[in-house]
Structure 1
Amino acid sequence: MTGPLRVPAFRRMWIAGFVSEIGDWVLMVALPVYVYQLTGSVGSTATTFVVALLPSLALSPLAGVLADRWDRRKLMLCVSLAQAVALLPLLTGDLVVVNAVMAVQAALAALFEPAKNALLPELVGRDQVTAANGLVGLNSNLARLIGASLGGLVLGWSGLPGVLWVDVASFLAAAVLLARPFGVVDRSGGAPVLRAWLDGLREIRGPLRGMVAVVGLMALSQGMFVVLFVVFVTERLGGAEAEVGLLRGIQAVGGLAGGLVVGLLARRTSAWSLLGWSVVVFSVIAAVGWNGPHVTTAFAFYLVTFALCGAPGVIAGAGMMSVLQLHTSDASRGRVMATFGSLYDGFQALGMVLAGALAVPLGLTVLLDLQAGLYLVAGVITFLIGSSARSTASSGRVRLRGRGPSRRASSSATADREEGAAPTRPG
């Protein structure tokens, strides 16, 4: 066992995330199919997911402050238990209850994610951050492969109650894995919530300001995908629940490959390059898939296409997370991650609204091509930001080169921080 997995605390968090995400993907695939079957409306499906995103926007200040102020493991543990309990009302099957439960789940997830993302660098150390994020991406895609494939099947076999109990079990299993302490520094006290959140916003400077545009575009595109994917599979490809789940889960096959090579790539290139190239490649593959029905509706073609999307997808996720984590201090990382999480959810909600509103007047193919194009624009912006960050860091090295060994060492460390470059030391 090498790299971040040698760290017991990270390994335990990694497994807990895997178990929890299997249940998440079962629910994530099954619920849109359930809502679409119940209403027959793209707009209603979009509304369900927009409602689920709103709590994240409202709770972002509190979530980030709690992640920086409290023991992050304990926060994740409490949230996992609460998520298990909050799923139970889904047994009614009512659309209003579905919306309410999704809103509560989103609120709890808004507390969980900043804590998890802020805790990762604390567990593995700065030199292993990109490799650890790659393993998290590998984990997520393996969970997607299992959970998404199960989602459609479980819904078809046992309905919404079966989906519910799978997810409840996953949250409880994650809580068990998080019950034992990680042995990191505890946190307590601090400034009032609003003031602490505003202090965290001041950390979003330099290259992170450009990342606001990158994250926003990626989220807008993902929001459109969430709404339109089910319609694409059912109407253009003639699929049903099983096909929706299989195509959503097959991306994990490529994602597994991407997760395995991220650590290797991280030792040879910067997080900026990982993010930029992977997003561009993802955009091209997506465009091919969306326009495929003009040529063929053979299911095997889409299995291959969606599988190929998985590799650049997981590499992009690792690159994006590493850029954000490496440009923030541990003391404020929770607030910065929560702010970007809120930004992502807000633009994802906007993408869902646009997809639901424009599906009829513009047509499905036009919207899906737009979705792929947004990723391409995000990739171009990433290259520009990364190039600027490297130029700034290089200028800093030149200015400090003649000021003595201690200054030179300081300059090198500063350059690593500014570039968000991956370490050269093997994991």
Structure 2
Amino acid sequence: MLKLLASYFTTATCSWVIAFLIPLYIYEQTGSPVWTSSAYLVAIAPYILVTPFAGAWSDRFSKRLLLVGGDLLSLVTGLVLYAALQLLSGLLLCSVLLLLTFLLTSVRATHHPAFQSIAPSIIEKGRLHTFNAVVNASDNMIRIAAPLGVAAALTLTSKDQLLILAVLGFAISLPLCYQLEERHKPQPTSRPILREISTGFSYVIENKQLRALVTLFFFCNFGFALIGASLVYLYTSILAVPSTQLGYYYGLIGCGAVAGSLLGAMLAKRCQAGALIRHSCLLAGLFTLAGAFTQTPWSLSAFWALSTCCQSVVVIAFFTYRQQTVPQAILGRTVGVTRLIAYLAIPPASLLSGWLLLHFSSSALVLASGGICITLASLLAYSGSVATQPSLEP
């Protein structure tokens, strides 16, 4: 388990640093907010376009080799990216950076189903809740520490040097993944890839519990994305927070998410999956809704931190439930399909969030809209088939 976690932490940190630097390079070349924001759209696209295929690949091929191949491809792509920065400039460089961003993010989109579906073949069922809690806590700690670390590093070194360090970090993960001992290797198949993906969709649709959970998550993610997409704007433009102080508020929010990781590890082992997920989603919605009545950045951060705490509990509970109940032979495709549906909520929510702020300039409206969406979806889930979810206990 330690090798898998160490590999994940290394690649997640490297990927985050690279994703942080690329928009800076693009803005430096163009000075255009349109070109700069396009880096975000390009980074999101693979999670919608590639994820279904990634799930099928992880069921068809060795998950260990997929992780190794992903690290190797990220390393090579990162080196090409560094070379492009030395040789190109202007719009040609920006176009190449966007193309390489899509490729790097496609590797991350492929990594998730393979990573999630290899865990049950390496880790005992009774320890999966701990594994998922550590993964979730790592994600949140990276989100807290990485911006501060990058900002500090850029005072001591250049973007190019920081980039090459991040790229070479993938070489650390390579041997860790190669040494993993994968059990339950997939059997070779000649079935068309689209049929494999269709099987994954059919499994999720025909499984009442999974279908109910995925429906709940879609609408909850829509509500969360309404706020998350414009959170920086809410702080800086509406609540008048100086950009130099944003890190404090994001730090508080991140602490809530980390606390949720620790809490989720305990609750996922003791509570019924469906009940824990419903209760946590409902609490997340209510805390989000309460944020609509706040007038200071600290109170907004406190309520959003409580919401992200509940969100972390949901992530751990669902990941563990999925790993323990879905057959290993179709787990990768199930991860891919459920992740795809969750990400489909983000683009329309982001556009709606921007539209609401453009026309009403109200943080209360955005927070209330997100909170109501999450709360209503959670309440509706109480009358659905999620109520019959089995326990997370093996």
Give the TM-score normalised by the residue count of structure 1.
0.77
Q: 1:379 aligns to what?
A: 378
AA in 2 matched with 1:202: S
| Aligned counterparts, 1:87-106, within 5 A | 87-88=78-79, 89=81, 91=85, 95-106=94-105
| Aligned counterparts, 1:105-184, within 5 A | 105-154=104-153, 160-161=159-160, 164-165=163-164, 167-184=166-183
| Aligned counterparts, 1:342-381, within 5 A | 342-365=340-363, 366-381=365-380
AA in 2 matched with 1:269: C
Deviates further, 146-155 or 313-322:
146-155
Tell me if structure 2 keeps the 8 A contact 1:19–1:171: yes
Shift of residue 304, structure 1, vs aligned partner:
4.2
Deviates further, 149-158 or 12-21:
149-158
Tell me if structure 2 keeps the 8 A contact 1:20–1:174: yes
Shift of residue 160, structure 1, vs aligned partner:
4.8
Q: 1:404 aligns to what?
A: none
Describe the SS at the equivalent of 2:183: coil
Shift of residue 95, structure 1, vs aligned partner:
4.8
| Aligned counterparts, 1:245-260, within 5 A | 245-260=247-262
Shift of residue 283, structure 1, vs aligned partner:
2.5
AA in 2 matched with 1:333: L
* Rounded Cα–Cα distance in structure 2 between residues aligned with 1:86 and 1:364: 42
Describe the SS at the equivalent of 2:329: coil
AA in 1 matched with 2:233: V
* Rounded Cα–Cα distance in structure 2 between residues aligned with 1:250 and 1:159: 29
Shift of residue 330, structure 1, vs aligned partner:
0.5
Shift of residue 158, structure 1, vs aligned partner:
5.6
Shift of residue 282, structure 1, vs aligned partner:
2.2
* Rounded Cα–Cα distance in structure 1 between residues aligned with 2:114 and 2:357: 36
Give the TM-score normalised by the residue count of structure 2.
0.83
Tell me if structure 1 keeps the 8 A contact 2:209–2:386: no
Provide structure 2 residue ranges, at least 5 long, that are not aligned to the other structure.
Answer: none
Alignment counterpart, residue 236 of structure 2, candidates 226, 234, 247: 234
Alignment counterpart, residue 59 of structure 2, candidates 47, 68, 91: 68
Q: 2:264 aligns to what?
A: 262
Deviates further, 152-161 or 255-264:
152-161
* Rounded Cα–Cα distance in structure 2 between residues aligned with 1:290 and 1:31: 33
> What CA deviation, in whole Å up to 9, does each residue of 1:237-271 have, x standing for no partner?
44455534443344332233222232321232112
* Rounded Cα–Cα distance in structure 1 between residues aligned with 2:235 and 2:219: 24
| Aligned counterparts, 1:29-40, within 5 A | none
Give identity over the alignment, percent: 19
1:56 matched to 2:59: no
Change in Cα spacing, 1:78 to 1:100, as seen in structure 2 (3 Å) is same
| Aligned counterparts, 1:187-226, within 5 A | 187-190=186-189, 191-204=191-204, 205-226=207-228
> What CA deviation, in whole Å up to 9, does each residue of 1:105-142 have, x standing for no partner?
22112211111111122222334333332222222222
| Aligned counterparts, 1:8-27, within 5 A | 10-27=1-18
Shift of residue 232, structure 1, vs aligned partner:
2.0
* Rounded Cα–Cα distance in structure 2 between residues aligned with 1:341 and 1:143: 21
Two-structure CA RMSD over aligned residues (Å)? 3.2
* Rounded Cα–Cα distance in structure 1 between residues aligned with 2:304 and 2:27: 22
Change in Cα spacing, 1:195 to 1:100, as seen in structure 2 (3 Å) is same
